[in-house]
């Protein structure tokens, strides 16, 4: 053993480890650890890598299904889409780094998730981003929005993967802790998928990609502790993204995989060389020996600790077929990338690191992964929430004035300012880009297309995390259905506060339970995901945000629908009837923006109805009964219709119901419903009756550029469009 000084509990505590964890580590090693060893344990046992607070609950999620090839536990989840093809996808957060340095934080978040996908052998074909910023008029917000947007764009645009969708929301609870969740989706041949488990005693371990610097050291630990104002001074630790090198690395890896040279491969993401080497060796049930003097470095005199914990970007670790080493070297030389054998696979079940000719680390691998702590943190029985009285919400303004306020608000206005900065067409397979219900991307060279969306409504989750968890799933489900695609599977990004507080743990447990019930009922298993806890600033937690990323499939992209309203069609609301549930205003955007009433029970989610309606819509699609469709969500029916009119550049003439308050009907956020434009109203009505799907005839889509309501109100499409499009630009 080297002469490195051994650590004390204080050192462990400064890395976020508890007393018990510290004692456990010493027990596993059989002595006190040195700095490098302690760093490795603290990273692997961090919340980010070990899921120690959430594991117990994540296990309850459905992860299997007919289409699942690989569930959680690898770099990304994999589903089968037939014809020998697989979709590989995952969502991941980069919240803290993006708050500290929005441009680089967001860019490296995108880079990281792209690597997770191509590491498994997929060519990435689409990116989405679920973003939450502080209040729109908070002083830091414009800077953060601009920085994150251009950071996402800088990476995706340069590497040449279209950014096709996602969410942008504003809420004061994110003032000091924004959420940047990036999702990447790739396509692979289902018989050519690459995993991270190392094999073959004596096989070479190769480092490829960019050089290692001191950036982002111990980022995984940072992502696992609460945020405070001081952390803003941690600037130098921020990683810098290099999309150009990322592109070279992607092409080189895909070329190498095609050459049958790769045995195992793992991205050096969170916790860098530590997590990649530990996971590769541990998954293979083997050991690994690495000579740190061989690791390509960017700075002089880097210690073993720094090399192991650096989060420099665009790096990969792999085990290759020894006979293919020369071919591998040539491929990397073609792409001008570092290619360095730095160690060997061993049979010792230990991670042994050498530095300057001495042993810098010698620890057993099993405890790092299998004996990582797992907590059953205390949580509470959720309170029953009551609905805000409708009389306290409805204000005495006209429907159109309410509509003006809503579609011009930062909650509902056009996100064009953001998404026009993303290249959404590169690869030339984008059928539906940003702004629709789901993005729709053609599987290159086929008629198939995959539908992609992300969703979550944190204001629902905050009040009722169980319903909120379910609602995130069903809204994503409706988004996929609305374009005519069949929902297949889910990736989730659970953004919460400090799980050591029982009220936060309650949110986590309840929303996972909601997700579980919804995913079970809708047959959309969770195949990958990420947990981001400790999203707090000075002790105050964010609104809980369990984001769902969903993937669906349509066999022929030519049968897909859009939200663009064609003229001279009938408008039908499906899944909604004339009863009170058709006007759920409690906890709606209307309540928030017009009555300034926050909270109150969110709309109930009936999974059975959701499933029935979804199947019905797909059935209508396959019988060519639908010309356009849009699900009803934030802002309600009239907002959804306005979006359809603006997208289709056509007007509409609609009839208000008589037995229900027109405001709650126009702006209620009840679930399970869609607006459908059709040329076959009678047929849809007939089928609805047979399937017991409630429906309401809403009116007609017209070529005239206006919205006419049966109460005599009228507004031009031009005005609506202008209000809708200027919602963000007036702040940014």
Partner 1 sequence: MRIAVIVFPGSNCDRDMLVAVEKITGRRPALIWHKQSNLDPIDLAILPGGFSFGDYLRCGALAARSPIMSALHDHAARGGSILGVCNGFQILIESSLLPGFLLRNKELKFICKQTTLALNAESNCKLLASLDSKKTLKIPVAHNEGSFFADTETLSKIENNGQVVLRYTSDTSAYSGNPNGSLNDIAGVCSSNGKILGMMPHPERAMGAGHESSDGEKLLRSVFEAIIK
Site residues (vs partner 1, CB under 8 A): 150, 153-154, 157-160, 242-245, 247-248, 251, 334-336, 419-429, 431, 442, 557-558
User: Which residues have C-beta within 8 Å of that of residue 121, sequence separation ≥ 6?
Assistant: 88, 188, 189, 192, 193, 194, 254, 257
Question: Nearest distance from residue 420's CB to partner 1, in Å?
Answer: 5
Closest approach, Cβ 728 to partner 1, in A, equals 13
| Helix, coil or strand: residue 527 | strand
Structure tokens at 190: 């289902």
Sign of the CA dihedral running 150, 151, 152, 155: positive
Q: How far apart are CA 164 and CA 152, in angstroms?
A: 12
Torsion on CA atoms 553, 558, 563, 567, rounded to nearest 10: -160
**Distance between CA 166 and CA 93 in Å, rounded?**
13
Tokens of 257: 């995989």
Pick between residue 158 and residue 369 the one whose CB is nearest to partner 1. Answer: 158
For every residue of 16-75, which 3-state class applies, written as one string? CCCHHHHHHHHHHHCCCCEHHHHHHHHHHCCHHHHCCCCHHHHCCCCCCCCCEEECECEC
Rounded least distance, CB 149 to partner 1, Å: 8
Smallest distance from partner 1 to CB 557, Å: 6
Please identify, using beta-carbon distances, which residue of 372 and 427 lies nearer to partner 1.
427
Phi, psi for 255 (deg, rounded to 5): -65, -40
Q: Which is nearer to partner 1, 390 or 647 (CB)?
A: 647
Nearer to partner 1, 270 or 431 (CB): 431
Q: Which is nearer to partner 1, 239 or 424 (CB)?
A: 424
- The nearer residue to partner 1, 316 or 440, going by C-beta atoms, is 440
Active-site residue flag, 218: no
Q: Which is nearer to partner 1, 391 or 558 (CB)?
A: 558
Smallest gap from Cβ 156 to partner 1, in A, equals 10
Candidates 95, 103, 94; CA nearest to 143 is 103
Smallest separation (angstroms) from partner 1 to the CB of 569: 21
Q: Residue 314 Cβ, how far from partner 1 at the closest point, in Å? A: 11
Q: Are strands 350-355 and 287-291 parallel, antiparallel or unpaired?
A: parallel
Nearest Cα to Cα of residue 124 among 75, 52, 66? 75
How many other C-beta atoms are found inside a 10 Å radius of the C-beta of residue 83? Answer: 11
Q: How far is the CB of 647 from partner 1 (least distance, A)?
A: 12
Strands 179-189 and 123-133: antiparallel
> Is the CB of residue 567 less than 8 Å from the CB of residue 703?
yes
Cβ of residue 413: shortest distance to partner 1, in angstroms?
17
| Residue among 421, 400, 511, 531 at smallest CA distance from 461 | 511
3-state secondary structure 612-653: HHHHHHHHHHHCCCCCEEEECCCCCHHHHHHHHHHHHCCEEE
**Which lies closer to partner 1 via its Cβ, residue 27 or residue 334?**
334
3-state secondary structure of 290: strand
CB 69 within 8 A of CB 79: yes
Q: Of 56, 60, 52, which is closest to residue 500 (Cα–Cα)?
A: 52
CB of 132 to partner 1, least distance (A): 21
User: If DSSP codes are grouped into helix, strand and coil, which group holds residue 212?
Assistant: strand
**Contact present, 558 and 515 (Cβ < 8 Å):** no
Q: Please, which residue, 92 or 242, has the CB nearer to partner 1?
A: 242
CB of 440 to partner 1, least distance (A): 9
Task: Compute the distance between CA of residue 271 and CA of residue 225 in angstroms, rounded to an integer.
Answer: 15
Query: Is residue 666 within a helix (H) or strand (E), and if so which, with residue range?
Result: helix 662-667
Q: Which is nearer to partner 1, 466 or 724 (CB)?
A: 724
CA 562-564-569 angle, 5° bins: 105
For residues 30, 289, 338, 262, the Cα torsion angle rounded to the nearest 10 degrees is -120
Contact between 178 and 132 (Cβ < 8 Å): yes
For tokens 């596993």, name the residue: 28
Nearer to partner 1, 223 or 440 (CB): 440
Please tell me which residue in 28, 48, 96, 218 is annotated as part of the active site: 48
d(CA 332, CA 319): 15
Q: Which is nearer to partner 1, 20 or 336 (CB)?
A: 336
Task: Examine the residue annotation and report whether 94 is marked as an active-site residue of this protein.
Answer: yes
Shortest Å, Cβ 662 to partner 1:
33
Q: How many CA atoms lie within 13 A of 698 on its CB side?
A: 31
Active-site annotation, residues: 48, 94
């Amino acid at each position: 053993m080297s002469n490195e000084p051994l650590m004390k509990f204080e050192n462990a505590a400064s890395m976020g480890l508890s007393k018990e964890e510290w004692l456990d580590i010493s027990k596993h090693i059989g002595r006190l650890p040195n700095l490098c060893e302690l760093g490795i344990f603290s990273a692997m046992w961090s919340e980010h890598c070990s899921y120690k607070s959430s594991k117990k609950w994540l296990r309850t999620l459905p992860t299997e299904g007919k289409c699942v090839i690989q569930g959680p536990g690898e770099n990304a989840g994999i589903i089968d889409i037939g014809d020998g093809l697989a979709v590989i996808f995952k969502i991941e957060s980069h919240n803290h780094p993006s708050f500290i340095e929005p441009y680089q934080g967001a860019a490296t978040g995108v880079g990281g998730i792209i690597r997770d996908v191509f590491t498994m052998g997929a060519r990435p074909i689409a990116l989405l981003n679920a973003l939450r910023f502080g209040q729109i008029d908070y002083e830091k917000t414009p800077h953060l929005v601009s920085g994150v947007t251009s950071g996402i764009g800088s990476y995706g645009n340069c590497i040449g993967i279209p950014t096709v969708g996602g969410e942008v929301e504003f809420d004061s609870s994110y003032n000091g802790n924004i959420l940047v969740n990036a999702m990447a989706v790739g396509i692979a041949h289902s018989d050519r998928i690459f995993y991270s488990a190392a094999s073959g005693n004596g096989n070479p371990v190769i480092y490829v990609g960019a050089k290692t610097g001191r950036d982002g050291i111990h980022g995984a630990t940072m992502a696992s502790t609460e945020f405070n104002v001081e952390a803003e001074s941690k600037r130098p630790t921020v990683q810098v993204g290099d999309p150009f090198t990322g592109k070279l690395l992607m092409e080189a890896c895909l070329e190498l995989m095609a050459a049958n040279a790769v045995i195992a491969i793992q991205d050096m993401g969170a916790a860098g060389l530590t997590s990649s080497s530990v996971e590769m060796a541990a998954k293979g049930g083997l050991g690994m020996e690495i000579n740190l003097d061989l690791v390509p470095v960017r700075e002089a005199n880097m210690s073993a600790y720094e090399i192991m914990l650096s989060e420099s970007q665009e790096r990969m670790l792999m085990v290759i077929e020894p006979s293919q080493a020369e071919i591998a070297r040539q491929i990397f030389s073609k792409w001008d990338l570092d290619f360095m054998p730095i160690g060997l696979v061993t049979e010792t079940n230990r991670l042994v690191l050498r530095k300057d000719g001495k042993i810098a680390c010698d620890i057993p691998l099993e405890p790092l992964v299998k004996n990582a702590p797992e907590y059953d943190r205390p949580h509470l029985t959720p309170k029953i929430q009551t609905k805000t009285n409708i009389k306290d919400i409805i204000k005495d303004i006209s429907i159109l004035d309410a509509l003006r306020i809503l579609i011009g608000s930062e909650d509902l206005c056009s996100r064009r300012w953001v998404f026009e900065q993303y290249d959404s067409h590169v690869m030339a397979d984008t059928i539906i880009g940003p702004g629709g219900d789901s993005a729709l991307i053609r599987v290159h060279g086929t008629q198939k297309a995959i539908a992609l969306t992300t969703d979550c409504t944190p204001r629902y989750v905050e009040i009722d995390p169980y319903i909120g968890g379910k609602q995130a799933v069903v809204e994503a489900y409706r988004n996929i259905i609305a374009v005519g695609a069949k929902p297949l599977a889910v990736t989730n990004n659970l953004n919460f506060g400090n799980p050591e507080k029982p009220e936060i743990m309650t949110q986590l447990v309840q929303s996972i339970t909601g997700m579980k019930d919804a995913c079970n009922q809708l047959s959309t298993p969770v195949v990958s995901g990420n947990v981001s806890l400790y999203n707090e600033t000075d002790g105050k937690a964010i609104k809980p945000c369990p984001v769902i990323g969903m993937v669906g499939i349509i066999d022929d992209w030519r049968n897909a629908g859009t939200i663009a309203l064609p003229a001279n069609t009938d408008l039908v609301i499906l899944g909604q009837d004339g009863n009170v549930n058709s006007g759920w205003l409690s906890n709606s955007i209307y309540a928030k923006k017009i009555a300034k009433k926050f909270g109150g029970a969110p709309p109930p989610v009936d999974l059975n109805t959701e499933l029935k309606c979804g199947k019905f819509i797909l059935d209508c699609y396959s019988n060519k009964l639908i010309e356009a469709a849009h699900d009803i969500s934030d802002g309600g029916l009239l907002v959804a219709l306005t979006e359809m009119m603006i997208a289709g550049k056509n007007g509409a003439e609609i009839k208000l119901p008589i037995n229900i308050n027109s405001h709650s009907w126009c702006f209620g956020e009840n679930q399970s419903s869609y607006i459908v434009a059709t040329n076959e109203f009678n047929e849809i009505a007939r089928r609805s009756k047979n399937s017991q799907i409630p429906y309401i005839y809403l009116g007609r889509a017209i070529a005239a550029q206006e919205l006419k309501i049966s109460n005599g109100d009228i507004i031009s499409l031009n005005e609506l469009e202008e209000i809708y499009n200027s919602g963000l630009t007036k702040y940014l």
